[in-house]
Structure 1
Amino acid sequence: MQGEQSFSKCSACHNIESPRTRLGPHLMGVVGRHAGSVPDYKYSQAMTDAGASGLIWDEDKLRAFLSSPKKVVPGTSMRFFGLWSETEIDNLIAYLKTVSAPQ
């Protein structure tokens, strides 16, 4: 799956196999989840505030964030400049949708 290949760019910081955090929060069940809501992860104040203001990671918000994280959540501590290809972003989102939330 092409999205799985795209996720390799994320895997140094994010986990999708188990609900453990790494440098970033796990991404199990991220599609449809409130921003800043993984309980055992210390988010930046900007991401915490975004989640408290109602930011939910739907496909459109994920697409925008994956393109330019700091435009969507100014002040985020995520050290990633974004993906450049819309096809790659679409593939990654499709892949993330297959990853269930932890039980």
Structure 2
Amino acid sequence: MRAIAFFAVTFLVTFITDQSHAQDAAAGEKVFTKCKVCHVADKDQNKVGPSLNGVIGRTAGTHPGFSYSQAMVAAGKSGVKWDEATLTTYLHDPKAMVKGTKMAFVGLKDDKDVANVIAYLKQFSK
């Protein structure tokens, strides 16, 4: 039941975000500077966080060579796959979506920033 509610909320947030914010990859690259301390998107390289190269479509907690928290691995096993909807929810509040994640980042509060970061990540997920 919790999973159904999660996916319903994720869909709703994505629908609303997609309707109200055009995505801008160049603006997303600027916002991504907050993420660069721990992540790389333009090449497949793990840092403190896993590589985000090819993240769109990836099952949560599965990038090779990265030691994920048990919570993130469990999220992937429960069916969490990174797409616009799940990334929107996660980037707003990582610890709320995956309780026990190792990611210390508090999240992006601006819907436009989230949409733009996702546009930026899409460039490296083809």
Give the root-mean-square deviation of aligned CA atoms.
Answer: 0.9
Larger radius of gyration: 2
Aligned length: 101
Match of 2:106 in 1: 81
Counterpart selection for 1:40 from 57, 65, 71: 65
Deviation of 1:43 after TM superposition, in Å, equals 0.1
* Structure 1: 5+ residue stretches without partners: none
Deviation of 1:39 after TM superposition, in Å, equals 1.1
- Relative to the length of structure 1, the TM-score reads 0.94
Counterpart selection for 1:19 from 29, 34, 44: 44
* Structure 2: 5+ residue stretches without partners: 1-25
Deviation of 1:31 after TM superposition, in Å, equals 1.1
Alignment-mate amino acid for residue 82 of structure 1: G
Q: State percent identity of aligned pairs.
A: 47
How many angstroms apart in 2 are the aligned matches of 1:74 and 1:56? 16
- Relative to the length of structure 2, the TM-score reads 0.77
Counterpart selection for 1:30 from 47, 51, 55: 55
How many angstroms apart in 1 are the aligned matches of 2:117 and 2:97? 18
Counterpart selection for 1:8 from 23, 30, 33: 33
